[in-house]
């Protein structure tokens, strides 16, 4: 963790945080909600105005600010949407896309649990549930410290409100893609999801591989060594 360099870039009227480490071919990690830079990195403000296209344009501006011409994109769940759409809109800037927890999605599933009008989303959780062995109190404190500053407002609104957003272009990912999902991931229980993953998604992402190791939706936290091995293998294959 001490080797990670933290920088702030001013782009498009925003001050965005970037956590940077390493050398060689550039790999951009886009995390999901409720994850933070602690797992990966990308953030945004103004939920009433923010769109997935804004996240894509922010990513493009970040790359331009560092004079980076092409990147690998590694994304988790809601980070997957802007990652694939970056590859669609700017194929000349993407080398490949590796997604965890979701493939490229043409539309959102409808069987996601939601809170009632008289509930908050946290009311759906059982507060006495212990932390899993792979997520420590120190990890939790890192999440809490950042969410005490930013809150949940933006990440809870943007993905669900704008999943069907279109850009007026052909939805075809023309770079190599690799999907990693835990074999017990809850998304695999959504009606029609397995058929979409095995068949239909290739209409949009023709050059795609899939791998379903042990684990659930947070497979990269549960089995980081295996996830790292798969990511490095994909990067090496397409470098």
Domains in the chain: ranges and CATH: 5-109+151-237 (3.40.50.1820)
**Distance separating alpha carbons of residues 157 and 155, to the nearest angstrom:** 6
Distance of alpha carbon 45 from alpha carbon 39, whole angstroms = 19
**What does the pLDDT average to over 125-144?**
78
pTM exceeds 0.85: no
The pLDDT score that the predictor gives to residue 206 is: 94
Spatial contact of 193 and 109, defined as CB atoms under 8 Å apart: yes
pLDDT at 104: 92
More confident: 125 or 199: 199
pLDDT tens readout for residues 51-62: 778 788 888 988
Band (pLDDT 50/70/90 cuts) for residue 44 is very low
| pLDDT attached to residue 173 | 95
């Amino acid at each position: 963790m001490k080797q990670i360099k933290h920088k702030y870039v001013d782009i498009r009227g925003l001050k965005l945080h970037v956590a940077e480490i390493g050398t060689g071919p550039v790999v951009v990690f886009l995390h999901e909600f409720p994850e933070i830079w602690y797992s990966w990195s990308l953030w945004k403000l103004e939920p009433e105005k923010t769109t997935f296209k804004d996240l894509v344009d922010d990513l493009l501006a970040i790359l331009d600010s560092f004079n980076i011409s092409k990147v690998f994109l590694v994304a988790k769940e809601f980070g997957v949407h802007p990652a694939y759409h970056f590859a669609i809109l700017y194929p000349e800037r993407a080398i490949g896309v590796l997604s965890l927890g979701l493939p490229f999605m043409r539309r959102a599933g409808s069987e996601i649990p939601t809170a009632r009008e008289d509930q908050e989303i946290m009311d759906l959780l059982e507060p006495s549930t212990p932390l899993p062995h792979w997520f420590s109190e120190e990890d939790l404190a890192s999440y809490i410290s950042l969410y005490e500053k930013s809150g949940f407002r933006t990440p809870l609104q943007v993905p669900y409100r704008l999943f069907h957003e279109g850009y007026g272009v052909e939805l075809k990912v023309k770079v190599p893609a690799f999907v990693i999902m835990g074999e017990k991931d809850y998304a695999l229980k959504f009606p029609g999801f397995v058929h979409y993953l095995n068949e239909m998604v290739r209409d949009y992402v023709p050059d795609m591989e899939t791998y379903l190791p042990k684990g659930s939706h947070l497979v990269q936290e549960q089995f980081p060594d295996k996830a790292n091995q798969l990511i490095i293998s994909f990067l090496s294959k397409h470098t």
